[in-house]
Amino acid sequence: MGQLLERLVRAEAVGFLAIPVSGDTREDITVDEHATGAQYRFVLPGPTISPQESTACLEAISEILSPSDYLVASGSLPPGVSASFYTEVARMAAAKDSKFVLDSSGPGLKAALGSGVHMIKPSLREFIELVEAPLADEAAYIAAARGIIASGGTELVALTLGEKGALLIGADFALSAAAPGVTPVSTVGAGDSFLGALVFSLAHGKAPRESLRQAVAAGTAALLSPGTDLCHAAEVERLARGVEVREL
């Protein structure tokens, strides 16, 4: 962890983590209605990114990549950025022997498959959109994921199922973890917390079973934090003890 922080600080010092763009940064606003418990999200449009700005981002990523690193790309591509952007990132990561994890959807995700992606993390809705087929149950989820893996699209599929938990699927294994029952305070950041814990565990040499357990616990813990606050370590540890992981 210390080496990672050192590299991030060094990268920031030379300007690799802050890529200036001409437009305003996109704003997301979350509003909680206390009377009903409803939560509303306002996702405002972001700036159009120029080809030069997009190239600057790719160059920055290339500079900080090292062998055995995990590189996570999360979110949709902003206006002006080609659907091939994540494809280029995947190729760069593969060339540096880094593990590229992609948490996105739509054309950007589809275009990147087969270009060196190590793991994708779609929601069920995003996954159905990706495979362009109805998926009725766990068997269908696994078959679709294995199809992508067999074709060289990715090595791992982490499929999040909301309150039903998540699956982690590889070429020779399929794991399911049920989410602990909690009363959500906020749903903001649950997917990000899931993926952060999953990558953190895998990067520290944990087996897929334990990594999935930690990921589901982290995603669930994020539901207990108000507003845009993310998960807390103590809650993750507590919830992880109650996460059951099954082999499918």
Active site residue 69: no
Torsion-angle region of residue 235: left (phi > 0), alpha (psi -120 to 50) or beta? alpha
Give me the torsion for CA of 27, 58, 189, 247, rounded to 10°.
160
Name the band, by pLDDT with cuts 50, 70 and 90, for residue 228: confident
Given the residues 69, 172, 192, 229, select the one marked as catalytic. Answer: 192
The pLDDT score that the predictor gives to residue 9 is 42
The pLDDT score that the predictor gives to residue 203 is 94
10 pLDDT higher than 60 = no
Q: For 168-202, how does the pLDDT look when each residue is reduced to its tens digit (9 = 90+)?
A: 999 999 999 999 988 888 888 899 999 999 999 99
How far apart are alpha carbons 174 and 185 in whole angstroms? 31
Sign of the alpha-carbon torsion through 212, 136, 86, 28:
negative
How far apart are alpha carbons 160 and 145 in whole angstroms? 13
75 pLDDT higher than 80 = yes
Q: What is the arithmetic mean of pLDDT over 201-220?
A: 96
- pTM of full prediction above 0.85: yes
Which tops the pLDDT comparison, 91 or 24?
Answer: 91
